[in-house]
Amino acid sequence: MLFNYKAITKSGEERTGSVDAPTEDVAISSLQKRDLVIVSITTGEKTSIFEMDIGFLTKVSNKEVVILSRQIATLFEANVPALRAFKLLAAESENPLLRRKLSEVADDIQSGMPISDALYKHPDIFSDFYVNMVRSGEESGKLSETFLYLADYLDRSYALTSQIKNALVYPAFVVSIFVLVMIGLFTFIIPKIADILTGSGQELPIYTKVIIGISDFLVNYGLFTLVVAIIAGFGFWKYRRAQAASLSRLALAIPIFGNLFQKLYLARISDNMYTMLTSGISMVRAVEITATVVGSETYRKILEEAAEGIKAGEPMSEALGGHEEIPNMMLQMIRVGEETGELGNILKKIAAFYRREVNTAVETLISLIEPTMIVLLGLGVGVVLAAVLLPIYNLAGGI
């Protein structure tokens, strides 16, 4: 948004002009950082309801951060100054929240703050991993390469996570539709049929009585059940946060899914550490940062213990040893990397291996879920129909 301003410099000179900023507060802050005393500031353009900043309703996706990183790298390679690069990206961003954040980053850079410190002020978008990578690039003078590393890493991480989520979309959709259809059947159709069956005077089979009982319960207590379910879901969410370690171990112990989660976390750990070590970040710091972004309480504790061991002088392979969650093959490969001085490349190979393993596990999971789901849903529908139709058939035969 464009703001017109009238201001006075410290020497008393009057200045007028315009400044581009997402909000009036940001515009005022930007002018004050130029040592200007603001006399008046007005909006220079009209904003439609569709262009209003609704950042509280939006969020910045991983995909947008990937694209942003590639754009920053391209601008830096073209020798565009950092301040100009972030202002350009802020102006071109379609996401109001990202536009505001990038404008704030540009203002901080203009005031003399390093890029990494400016990004650190926005942890909801730029993680510790991201900020430390940028700080390493500043120290080594290879910022454009660092942002390319970040874009490649985030792209791999996004693709890996998206693959698992997308694999579960279809089963979740089918199950949700099935549940809604069954709720409609139990609350609208079966009560009418139940009146006919109970009014006939015949002895109903036990499975029919069970179906009618479920239907009566949903009709009479359905709303209460929904409220209880919402409260229970909220309670579980709070419990999950309080008992993150226990639930993390439980997730790794679930048959089939536990193996998939383990490979996902190992791929993430290897890829994180490879990216950071390649960028010049120390091994201890790389392990510490990886612990904060791995996404598993179990592996976070393992990595924190490993960081302490490395500080005490242990090699990474020994510091990570003694945990059944870290496969022996991975430890052996890390040991080889330490002995040959090729730890970065070894971690890259480990990450690629586990990404392939995750791909295979997801494909296997899909091949198991779909037929199992079809069979279980078919049985559920068959039981309900049999419980309702058989008494009707007997009633018709007795007439």
Query: In angstroms, rounded to a whole number, what is the distance separating the alpha carbons of residues 399 and 141?
Result: 92
Separation in Å, CA 133 to CA 101, 144, 221: 19, 11, 55
Tens digits of pLDDT across the chain (399 residues)? 567 777 777 666 777 777 766 667 667 777 777 777 776 777 654 444 444 444 444 688 888 888 888 888 888 888 889 899 999 898 888 888 899 999 999 999 998 889 999 999 998 888 888 888 888 888 878 888 888 888 888 888 787 777 777 777 888 888 888 888 888 888 888 888 888 877 777 778 888 888 888 888 888 888 888 899 889 888 777 766 555 556 677 777 887 778 888 888 898 899 888 888 887 888 998 898 888 878 888 898 999 999 999 999 999 999 998 888 899 999 999 999 999 989 989 999 999 999 888 888 888 877 888 788 888 888 888 888 888 888 877 776 654
Q: What does DSSP assign to residue 202?
A: P
pTM for this model (two decimals) = 0.64
Residue 398 is predicted with a pLDDT of 52
Neighbours of 77 (CB within 10 A): 13
Q: Are 40 and 58 in contact (CB under 8 A)?
A: no
In tens, the pLDDT along 196-223 reads 877 777 778 888 888 888 888 888 888 8
Burial (0-12, 13-18, 19+ Cβ within 10 Å), 150: buried
In tens, the pLDDT along 63-102 reads 888 888 888 888 888 888 989 999 989 888 888 889 999 9
The one-letter amino acid code at 377 reads L
Query: In angstroms, rounded to a whole number, what is the distance separating the alpha carbons of residues 279 and 323?
Result: 28
Sheet of 37-43, strand order = 14-20, 2-8, 37-43
Query: In angstroms, rounded to a whole number, what is the distance separating the alpha carbons of residues 8 and 25?
Result: 18
Query: In angstroms, rounded to a whole number, what is the distance separating the alpha carbons of residues 303 and 163?
Result: 26
H or E segment to which residue 20 belongs: strand 14-20
Q: What does DSSP assign to residue 23?
A: S
The b/e string for 205-244 (b: 16+ C-beta within 10 A; e otherwise) is eeebbebbeebeebeeeeeeeeeeeeeeeeeeeeeeeeee
Residue 112, both tokens:
């003399």
H or E segment to which residue 65 belongs: helix 62-77
Closest CA to 143 of 77, 63, 90, 71: 77
Q: Are 196 and 391 in contact (CB under 8 A)?
A: no
Residue 397, both tokens:
């035969």
